[in-house]
Structure 1
Amino acid sequence: MAKDPVFRVVFINNGKSYEIYAASVQQGALYGFVEVEDILFDNRSSLVVDPGEEKLKAEFDGVKKTNIPLHAIIRIDEVEKQGVAKIFDASGDVVTPFPMPKPDKNKS
C-alpha cells in the first residue's frame, strides 16, 4: 500500500529560513505563488520541547493552506518521513535570489 507523500519545503521569510513539512504542495491559483496545504507537525508528546517548532506551530495555528512567493522558495523535496519543523537564521546561507526584471517607468 502506498504511503501518502510528505514534502519538505524550505523558504526564506523576514531574513530567516523556514523548514516545514506538508502533505500537499502545488502551484497556486495566485500567479507566482506555491500553495502549501496541510502543514505537518510532530505530534509526539515528549518532555523535551523544541522552541523553534513551537514557534512555527503558533505561527501556522489555524492555517489550512498558505501561499509562499515563488522567489522565497529555496527547495521542495518529497521525503520518506516527516522531520522536525524549524526556523533558523538565514544570514549565513549562500542563497542568490532569482533576478527580477525592473519595472519600465515609461509604461503606464
Structure 2
Amino acid sequence: MSQSKKRLYRITFINQGKVYEVFAQHAYQGEMYGFVIIEDLVFGEHSTVVVDPTEEKLKSEFSGVKRSLIPMHAVVRIDEVEKEGVARIHDLGSNVTTLPASYLPQGRGGPGKDG
C-alpha cells in the first residue's frame, strides 16, 4: 500500500440492539481501557437522486462527531478495505443467542443449599 493512499476501515459494532456498519479513516485502541476509537467517519457522496435512508440516519446521528469511543465488547469486527461501501444499520437477527443470566439449574438455591 502506498504512503499517499489513505487507509479506510469498515467497523461493525452493536449499539442499542442494532448492528452498525460504518467507514472511518482511523480505528485504534483508545487511551481509555476497553474502548476502540473511530475517527474521520466517511459517508458516500451521492450524486444521484436516490438516497439511502439508513445512511442518511447514520450521517445525521454522527453529525458533528469528531471521534467516537466504542466499547470493545460491542465491536464485532474491523476490516481494512479498499473502497468505501454504504454505511448501514440493521437488526441483530435471530441467530444471536444471549448468555443465560444464571448458570445454576432450576430448583437449586445456590451453593450449600438443598434444592
TM-score by length of 1: 0.84
State the shift of 1:71 in Å: 0.2
Q: How many residues align?
A: 97
Whole-angstrom CA distance in 2 between matches of 1:32 and 1:20: 20
Whole-angstrom CA distance in 2 between matches of 1:38 and 1:95: 33
TM-score by length of 2: 0.79
**3-state SS in 2 of match to 1:81:** coil
Larger deviation, residues 67-76 vs 41-50 = 41-50
Structure 1, residues 13-70: CA drift from partner, whole Å, max 9, x if none?
0000000000000001111000000000001221111000000000000001000000
Q: Which has the larger radius of gyration?
A: 2
State the shift of 1:93 in Å: 4.5
Any unmatched runs of 5+ in structure 1? 98-108
For the aligned residues, what is the CA RMSD?
Answer: 1.6
1:4 maps to which residue? 6
1:43 maps to which residue? 45
Structure showing the higher strand proportion among its residues: 1
Any unmatched runs of 5+ in structure 2? 100-115
2:74 maps to which residue? 72
